[in-house]
Structure 1
Amino acid sequence: MSVFRTAGGDAIDRSRTISFSFDGTRIEGHPGDTIASALLANGVHLMGRSFKYHRPRGVLGAGTEEPNALVGVTRGPGRFEPNQRATLVPITDGMVVESQNRSPSLARDIGAVNDLLSAFIPAGFYYKTFMWPRSFWAKVYEPVIRRAAGLGRPPEVTDPDRYAQRWAHCETLVVGAGPAGLAAALAAADAGGRVILCDEGETIGGRLRDMPRATIDGLTAGKWIVQARTRLENAGVRLLTRTTAYHYGIGNLVTLAQRCTDAGGARTRERQWMVRAGRVIIAIGSIERPIVFPNNDRPGVMLASAAAGFLHRYGVLVGRHIVIATQHDSAYRTAIDLAGAGAAVTLVDRRARPAADLGEACSAAGVTVITGHIPIDTRGRLRVSKVAIAPAPDAAHRWLPCDALLMAGGWTPSVHLHSQSGGKVAWDAQSAAFLPGTTLAAQVSAGTCRGRVTLADCLADGWTAGGGNGASAPAADDRTDTGMSPAEPDAHPEGARRKAFVDFQNDVTAKDIRLAVREGFRSVEHLKRYTTNGMATDQGRTSNINALAIAAQAMGQTIPGTGLTTFRAPYSPTTFGTMTGFTRGRLFDPVRTTPMHARAVAAGAVFEDVGQWKRARFFPRPGEDMHAATARECISVREAVGLFDASTLGKIEVVGPDAAAFLDLLYAGRLSTLAVGRCRYALMLREDGFIADDGVIARLATDRFHVTTTSGGAASVLNVMEDFRQTEWPDLRVWLTSTTEQWAVAGVTGPRARNVLAALVEGVDLSSDAFPHMAVRQGRIAGVPVRIFRVSFTGETGYEINVPARHALPVWDAVAAAVAAAGGGLYGTEAAHVLRAEKGYIIVGQETDGTATPDDVGLGKMVAATKPDFVGKRSLMRAAMRDPDRKQLVALLTADRSLLDEGTQVVDPASPRQSLGHVSSTYPSVTLGRPFALAMVHGGRSLLGTKLAVATAAGPVAVDVVDPVLYDPSGARLDV
């Protein structure tokens, strides 16, 4: 056994030994070991080099707070991940681990020259250095910065592992399975309802696992944890270990990242849980703070809590001759535990008079206690070898030999999830920390993350948060506490010349922070970005409070007066695989095809992408280009009949007693007066009054509507509907169902459309009186039940046949045969665009650009202004929205019959530099015998009959401004 292994360690399986390589050296460990614990057990403290100065670094923490020991891990072919925390990655047999940010090796890194040049690269040096000369930026500075940015090397092959996502709902979500979290989960389970308990550790227990002498309900900490787990499992509580809550969203939506397996392969590697909870209990504990003093970053210098974790969980002594520098009580318990494991321990307490019983307990355990002293320097090249201590920074000092130096500078409660939830934090002078300030109805913090000190207090606090009766809370031995006594943050004294590190990951020193203050960066957010303190994956876990103390001192103000930076998600590093789940590769942007896609392919269609859909753009015959094919298809529709696949239209069923009232509120038109069996064109507006989507809405029954949307707008419209239904009008009895994929649509349009369908449709009278324009009927075609909508997007008599998607092909084939027999044929989206533009019909997103109102595009009559309310109504009432000089839809005819380009600017010939608007659509038209364009022009309707110009590369092109309805302005063709 290694000289650094002890007999303890509840996380490892000593019955087996496995090995991995670290920078080519074979390292042995046990299943359950992390990379860090296995390296420490083998006496390896040097694990990385710092980002900026390339200084030797070892582990600082034992968990997610670790800023230094970032490594690249290869678990097999194609399974390489950079920047993995060595404290979190369990070892597997054959794993290959490599250190980062060094060349050629950890022990001999040429980048260490940066440490010697540190005077020339202070905080914010890049803002000053890379400004001049300007010509250097593109060819010199930018390439160098890009190569230097980041740590590690990116993977070179596609990640082969599987990632998944799932939703879950519960009455209570408990985040953190330490003493407070376990107590909260037990109470919530007793109260009934679904309970989920998650923790990022390999198992439950949290810091309670590092307190072997604690007793709860007469049981040792370890036995009580086992008992608690059994009770929770028997109560049906879902336990999610190795699971990090990395985002707290609106409506108690908490996103979790679960590490399912370390091996990858066929099993799911990671899973993202999106948990919607009735109530969230945050019990994520606190993180120990380092002490700021010169050369406090050597390998072997770490947090006291980390040493305790390595000892109790992995049976690893971080050193044989240990010095602990402290300014609060928890270090005493750690010192006693380390001495009991065989280490020679000296405890150096900054306080002159700590509690007498602590000193007595240490003396009884063989720990040497020195009070009234602080660490002021260290020595040791690749591992700490001694530490200088003194009563004050400038007082006479003495050196203590050591192979590990532990820091215990106080505790920082983890308040990031509370902040993300919308809660505020407040400085608590008694705790010397920021604690959750505001109380939220559906969220509560418990335990040390809200300043509770003793183990008994944490258990009681968690039990109460979970809804338990205080009298029945788990009871801890009164003599056992967490050691979380308050300690003032460490404001390193000014004047020291050697580097005293505050942020270990970003190489930010106390001097850097003071320099930033002197240079005018007094806002904590500016200070953070100028110095990079608390950025990257560290997120200020170990650095924020000490940095604030130093900045506050430099500014001559208090820490709460200085403020706290914002906690943004994800607070903990989260893989892209977890966030994307199955949405990768072919599923990253899935190609969607209609049920008739194969028929279009067989007909020789040329496709275009419309959102995720593949749509037939045109059907060329031999020798035809797009323009020729489109012209032929347009003639077929205008003179005979055409068949169009309109399946991509969004479709939503709106059902319920209040469906009509709901649609009245959501759409600008009045839909409650729509008769059963009739359709109405409707506009959906945004709250700012601008057009968001359009479509035809059919009333199938008193309480049932069929709503169509644009092809690309189906998902967003449904999302808007659900948003308003759930948040604005939750009292309305209405239900929404997306049916886009359930209905295939065959559009039949042209002067022979009625005759084509007459021979196919059963159970529907197709006469104009029985089936007028903008009506809907239900019948059968080829024995299949269908819904037929009498609507038109071409200006000709038209029908849209909605057929269940699984029965679409027989119906399509029957209709296609009848269309061909009537002298017609298939047409694509390009012809559809020409036909609709000739009629002056708009396409949302083409004629509208997010700033168009209904009146702007000639659809002011679609707005039911007398309705009491609808989305966007108040915005339409603003004077600016009724300005007659707003951009309005017109048509443009070029004097030389040339074809304009979309997006070109419309100008006044007398002032060609002043834009009056832009061309939104432009097409050649075989029907009109000339090209034409639609345009949005300021005061367009007042300019009808005038001449303007369009700016082109060849010069201005004269145009006539005319009404946008160029074809059949009377609408007679809609009922042929």
Structure 2
Amino acid sequence: MVGFRTDAPGTRIDRDKPLRFTFDGKPVEAFSGDTIASALLASGRAIVARSFKYHRPRGVFAAGSEEPNALVTTGVGGETEPNVQATTRLVSDGLVVSGQNAYPSVDRDLGAINQVFAPFFGAGFYYKTFMGPMKRSWMWYEPSIRAAAGMGRASLSPDPARYERANAFADLLVVGGGPAGLAAALTAGRVGARVLIADEGHVLGGAIDLDDARINGTPALDWAKEAADELDAMPNVRVLRQTNVWGYYDANVLAAFEDCSAGGLTRARHWRLQARQVVLATGSYERPIVFAGNDRPGVMLVSAALAYARRFGVMVGRQAVLFCNNDQAWLNAAALVEEGLQIAAIVDPREDLPAELTEPLEQTGARLLTGHVVIAAQGKKQVEKAVIMAADGSGETTTLECDTLLVSGGSNPVINLASQAGGAPTWNADIAAFVPGTQREAWVPAGAMIGAARLGEVLKQGAVAGQASCELLGLRCPLPSFKVDSRGGNLRASVEDGGLKPLFEVKAPAGRRFGKFDKAFVDLQHDVTAEDIRLAAREGFESPEHVKRYTTLGMANDQGKTSNVTGLAILAEAREVPMSEAGTTRFRPPFVPVPLGTLAGRARGAQMRPVRRSPLYATHVAAGAPMAASGLWMEPRAYPRPGEAAEKAALREATHVREAVGIADISSTGKIDVAGPDAAAFLDRVYTNLFSNLTTGQTRYGVMLREDGLIFAEGTAFRLSKDHFLLTTPAAKAETVVTHLEFLLAIAWPDLRVTVTSVTEHYAGIAVSGPKSRTLVSRVVEGRETDNRAFPYRDVHRATISDLPVIVARLSSSGEDGYEIYIGADHGVFLWKYLLEKGKDLDVSPYGMEAMDILRIEKGYPGAAEFDGRRSLEDFGMEKILSKKKNCVGRPLALREALTSQDRQQLVGLVALDGAIVQAGAHLVKGESAEKPGESEGHITSATYSPAMKSHIALALLRGGRERHEEVLYAADPLRGTHNRVRVVDPQFYDPDGSRPNG
């Protein structure tokens, strides 16, 4: 390949804006609008990359996101980005580009020695080679294998670039900005539909610039520009350029990646797109043909060569040979000749081609070798010769000198998104390609992705798809007409009419070799050969999915765009079955590589897990409380006095709550507002116990189950009025509970008239606990009696404090008489100080989260450590709150024998014996010896020293624990070097009859 810049203006470059970048430290001249690949081709560079396994030299092969070879690394330091497709990344002034997977450079790579060992690197070699000879050989091989894995090398420095996330909603999303996509978007946009159109290119039109056509009397490229301008001017249409839609998910949600690297502060943007209807106009990729040496630099798709010539004014070589099996390739060859490329010969296995194809090229002096095939490409570092023979294998071979070998084996519709949102692709023998299967989401296909070849047909299908989508949206719209005059107006496009002769591989004659290391490659990036696929078939791997994993076919970052169909054809031949029976791989997201930064957006560094602070945070800091992370919240551990450790302060605070009164910040508690005529019925379906019979002013503890019958979350519901509830849940579960409730209302029961709103940040919450708590609350709450008759345990009432509205619930998580007061977040500091002031004579003092934990464990209340997502109601003795009067989420599976067995681990209490200390994480065993502890029968979940019990206590989950009270076991903790005796007891250490909360 000896590429050069022509005098042609190029439709995508601006010659008045020259740029310069470096490749492997050497300067490369370019123009604004160039891609890295077009600029490298213009500079005459043949080798731009090295292959993964054999480190063979590779050149530019395609012109878009289907490129398997030209992967480079851009940037330096923290801005380093590996595995960038040179064919899609635009050049910017000063850009630093380097080769990868090579040492010291892509031109001279020591890794090429791997070709000598090629016989040992066949399909599945890693499975066969690295299992022995010793039992643990893999541990010895692993470091070297992991060091060799991957292509580019990411930077270990922080990435300073900005990434963003965005959402967009539309009536119609059109994926693909080619002629079909433009026609669909224009049709819908003109009648007022909200339209989004996303295309991977920075210029709309797709491959329309490769077609010498006139649309309604206007040159095709000019028509596309006019269509793009019209769409840009429509207020109801949004155009996303350089945006690759890479994933299709349920409910017509699609994920997209916008490349913003050409300029601006943002490098890339992740889009979440949701549309009522979708038009998939994703086009097709030209398909290569497999033959010996087909990976050499200089072998390229013919449509790519035409794209570089017209878009960038770059000729990919000086003398080319074209090897094809279809009419479209001949039209592209004629166009290339007009652009200035010298074509020495055209090789086609078909005979008797129509004169309108052959005559224009015959007049240029090109040899027309119909009925022939290329069996090999030869050359040292790039293509120098093409070896040709008769298609039937007869006669002698012919060798032609060339620096470029253009290939075309037909087209593969781009059906990845359709496969993600539908059934398996189906084989269409008429066009020798896979087309979309059944639909699962609301999408309509159009254009080349369903086999349309003629431009007029593509435009008509796009318009019909836009019209059909509008009708499904309830919009009536006229169908625009397109008159198309183009070269090859009578183009034959199918197998049936002779416009295509299926040809996936050309096998070399038996016993004939064309180079010491020459192979016939299918997957150019992963070095998967045709023989690798046949070997997999011989070894019993008949499923395409198994062959894919055994050979790594299609597992590179190009996702097999130019190799999958060819590989399946070779597999079908090896199995001696037709393509329709060979099966197909399924495409999963992402369709193109997606930088991880775009998925995170700005959620990085301090923003990755934003620290949440309660309205009282500054008050706690001013009081000298050490703050600690509790989930996403910063909470006070304790309020130590001068010279007092936080651990000692927590014990003092817990004792004080038992004896007098304390206040604690509970603002982080999740608070969810549930309102609507069906609110009570909704909670009945969500919780295990009944809530519809709860009267206004009462509270009830409840448990939610997952669909598998295990405990999902627990909390308390306040009934504030007939149709209004406030749910509280532990802080760590707040967001997941809201999401769970929203999901149920949107998907399971959309008919229920209920709204769910997270109000955690709306309120500041303060718990008042201790024997003197009622006295303190009665001093601050206005208009509400607080005696046992007027305000019994588990009641909730609206009231005021200093004329400020509050919600007061008589609840306790400490085991003492207690209240929870919720006030507007802006007034949280006032209420905290007001309580301290009004309770001075009662000796009121604050207590932190460590004291709260001590009080909880003493009372035997399970917390986050116990509700670990693996527990059933029976494990906590809560089976009675599974109502028999109604159904709820998870109820059927909660009754399974496996979840009600008495052999499951159950909640128990533990008392440490012999003055020992026990810690969470220790296992419960019967063995007296630390060297032979025996089988683990459970583990400690929460542990503390109890001021009330004067000993170390713990909560634990123990197999069959409720029947094992008073049994002595051992808490085995080998990591911390302890093996201590413990006695199994009832988990309610303190106030087992529950009388203290009632005052």
Q: Give TM-score scaled by structure 2 length.
A: 0.93
> How do 1:187-206 residues align onto structure 2 when only pairs under 5 Å count?
187-206=187-206
* Residue in 1 that maps onto 2:26: 25
What is the letter of the counterpart of residue 65 of structure 2? T
Q: Within 1, Cα distance between the matches of 2:439 and 2:574? A: 33
Equivalent pair of 2:46/2:298 in contact (CA under 8 Å): yes
Query: Residues 831 and 402 from structure 1, CA distance in 2 versus in 1: closer, same or farther, beyond 3 angstroms?
Result: same
Q: Within 2, Cα distance between the matches of 1:165 and 1:353? A: 56
Identity %: 43
Query: Residues 364 and 492 from structure 1, CA distance in 2 versus in 1: closer, same or farther, beyond 3 angstroms?
Result: closer
After superposition, give the CA deviation of every residue in 1:247-267 in whole Å (9 maximum; x if it has no partner).
111111101111224245xx2
* Residue in 2 that maps onto 1:933: 954
Q: Within 1, Cα distance between the matches of 2:503 and 2:597? A: 38
1:8 deviates by 4.0
What is the letter of the counterpart of residue 187 of structure 1? T
1:294 deviates by 0.8
Equivalent pair of 2:670/2:731 in contact (CA under 8 Å): yes
Equivalent pair of 2:204/2:241 in contact (CA under 8 Å): yes
* Residue in 1 that maps onto 2:990: 967
Q: Within 2, Cα distance between the matches of 1:711 and 1:198? A: 40
Q: Within 1, Cα distance between the matches of 2:913 and 2:818? A: 33
What is the letter of the counterpart of residue 914 of structure 2? D
What is the letter of the counterpart of residue 195 of structure 1? V
- Return 139-148 or 474-483, whichever deviates more: 474-483
Q: Within 2, Cα distance between the matches of 1:61 and 1:19? A: 23
After superposition, give the CA deviation of every residue in 1:95-124 in whole Å (9 maximum; x if it has no partner).
222122222233322222222332232232
1:902 deviates by 2.5
Q: Within 1, Cα distance between the matches of 2:564 and 2:787? A: 77
* Residue in 1 that maps onto 2:880: 861
* Residue in 2 that maps onto 1:609: 629
Q: Within 1, Cα distance between the matches of 2:598 and 2:685? A: 38
SS in structure 2 at match of 1:861: helix
**1:876 aligned onto 2:914:** no
**1:374 aligned onto 2:373:** yes
> How do 1:115-194 residues align onto structure 2 when only pairs under 5 Å count?
115-134=115-134, 137=137, 141-194=141-194
RMSD of aligned Cα (Å): 2.5
1:408 deviates by 0.4
* Residue in 2 that maps onto 1:684: 704
* Residue in 2 that maps onto 1:846: 865
After superposition, give the CA deviation of every residue in 1:889-915 in whole Å (9 maximum; x if it has no partner).
222334435333333344568997454
Equivalent pair of 1:336/1:365 in contact (CA under 8 Å): no
Equivalent pair of 2:248/2:417 in contact (CA under 8 Å): yes
1:726 deviates by 0.5
Equivalent pair of 1:455/1:482 in contact (CA under 8 Å): no
- Return 515-524 or 572-581, whichever deviates more: 515-524
What is the letter of the counterpart of residue 269 of structure 2? R
Q: Within 2, Cα distance between the matches of 1:249 and 1:152? A: 30
* Residue in 2 that maps onto 1:61: 62
- Return 512-521 or 215-224, whichever deviates more: 512-521
* Residue in 2 that maps onto 1:16: 17
* Residue in 2 that maps onto 1:324: 322
* Residue in 2 that maps onto 1:72: 73
* Residue in 1 that maps onto 2:98: 98
> How do 1:546-557 residues align onto structure 2 when only pairs under 5 Å count?
546-557=566-577
Q: Within 1, Cα distance between the matches of 2:980 and 2:141? A: 46
1:91 deviates by 1.1
* Residue in 2 that maps onto 1:814: 834
SS in structure 1 at match of 2:180: helix
Equivalent pair of 2:180/2:458 in contact (CA under 8 Å): yes
Equivalent pair of 2:419/2:437 in contact (CA under 8 Å): no
**1:404 aligned onto 2:412:** no
Equivalent pair of 1:418/1:436 in contact (CA under 8 Å): yes
Query: Residues 935 and 51 from structure 1, CA distance in 2 versus in 1: closer, same or farther, beyond 3 angstroms?
Result: closer
Q: Within 1, Cα distance between the matches of 2:430 and 2:625? A: 75
* Residue in 2 that maps onto 1:539: 559
Equivalent pair of 1:595/1:805 in contact (CA under 8 Å): yes
Which of residues 912, 920, 934 is equivalent to 2:941?
Answer: 920
Q: Within 2, Cα distance between the matches of 1:30 and 1:353? A: 44
Which of residues 802, 813, 829 is equivalent to 1:793?
Answer: 813
- Return 255-264 or 526-535, whichever deviates more: 255-264
What is the letter of the counterpart of residue 430 of structure 1? D
Query: Residues 569 and 167 from structure 1, CA distance in 2 versus in 1: closer, same or farther, beyond 3 angstroms?
Result: same
Query: Residues 222 and 597 from structure 1, CA distance in 2 versus in 1: closer, same or farther, beyond 3 angstroms?
Result: same
Q: Within 1, Cα distance between the matches of 2:671 and 2:114? A: 62
SS in structure 1 at match of 2:718: strand
1:537 deviates by 0.6
Q: Within 1, Cα distance between the matches of 2:539 and 2:522? A: 19
SS in structure 1 at match of 2:279: strand
> How do 1:425-504 residues align onto structure 2 when only pairs under 5 Å count?
425-440=425-440, 442-467=442-467, 472-477=480-485, 480=489, 485=494, 486-493=500-507, 495=510, 497=513, 498-504=518-524
1:762 deviates by 2.6
After superposition, give the CA deviation of every residue in 1:579-635 in whole Å (9 maximum; x if it has no partner).
110111111122222121222222232333222112222233344444422221111
> How do 1:252-271 residues align onto structure 2 when only pairs under 5 Å count?
252-264=252-264, 267-271=265-269
Equivalent pair of 1:191/1:467 in contact (CA under 8 Å): no
What is the letter of the counterpart of residue 336 of structure 1? A
Q: Within 2, Cα distance between the matches of 1:793 and 1:725? A: 31
Q: Within 2, Cα distance between the matches of 1:943 and 1:238? A: 68
**1:292 aligned onto 2:312:** no
Q: Within 1, Cα distance between the matches of 2:364 and 2:239? A: 38
After superposition, give the CA deviation of every residue in 1:235-284 in whole Å (9 maximum; x if it has no partner).
321111100001111111101111224245xx222111101111111111
**1:507 aligned onto 2:527:** yes
What is the letter of the counterpart of residue 865 of structure 1? K
Structure 2 gap segments, 5+ residues each: 469-476, 495-499
Which of residues 884, 896, 907 is equivalent to 1:889?
Answer: 907
What is the letter of the counterpart of residue 62 of structure 2? G
Q: Within 2, Cα distance between the matches of 1:2 and 1:531? A: 34
1:417 deviates by 0.5
Structure 1 gap segments, 5+ residues each: none
Query: Residues 481 and 895 from structure 1, CA distance in 2 versus in 1: closer, same or farther, beyond 3 angstroms?
Result: farther
> How do 1:492-891 residues align onto structure 2 when only pairs under 5 Å count?
492-493=506-507, 495=510, 497=513, 498-843=518-863, 845-867=864-886, 869-891=887-909
After superposition, give the CA deviation of every residue in 1:641-700 in whole Å (9 maximum; x if it has no partner).
111111111111111111111111111111111112221111111112211111111111
Equivalent pair of 2:319/2:404 in contact (CA under 8 Å): yes
Q: Within 1, Cα distance between the matches of 2:935 and 2:26? A: 72
1:886 deviates by 3.4
Equivalent pair of 1:510/1:547 in contact (CA under 8 Å): yes
After superposition, give the CA deviation of every residue in 1:800-850 in whole Å (9 maximum; x if it has no partner).
11122222212222223344542132212221122122222211x322332
SS in structure 2 at match of 1:251: helix
* Residue in 2 that maps onto 1:423: 423
- Return 421-430 or 743-752, whichever deviates more: 421-430
Q: Within 2, Cα distance between the matches of 1:933 and 1:110? A: 62
1:949 deviates by 5.2
Equivalent pair of 2:938/2:957 in contact (CA under 8 Å): yes
Q: Within 2, Cα distance between the matches of 1:21 and 1:945? A: 77
SS in structure 2 at match of 1:309: helix
Q: Within 1, Cα distance between the matches of 2:780 and 2:197? A: 60
What is the letter of the counterpart of residue 862 of structure 1? I
Q: Within 1, Cα distance between the matches of 2:521 and 2:944? A: 67
Which of residues 906, 919, 935 is equivalent to 1:901?
Answer: 919
Equivalent pair of 1:499/1:509 in contact (CA under 8 Å): yes
Q: Within 2, Cα distance between the matches of 1:177 and 1:483? A: 25
1:718 deviates by 0.7
Q: Within 2, Cα distance between the matches of 1:164 and 1:181? A: 26
1:312 deviates by 1.7
What is the letter of the counterpart of residue 875 of structure 2? D
- Return 899-908 or 133-142, whichever deviates more: 133-142
SS in structure 2 at match of 1:466: helix
Query: Residues 14 and 696 from structure 1, CA distance in 2 versus in 1: closer, same or farther, beyond 3 angstroms?
Result: same
Equivalent pair of 1:180/1:461 in contact (CA under 8 Å): yes
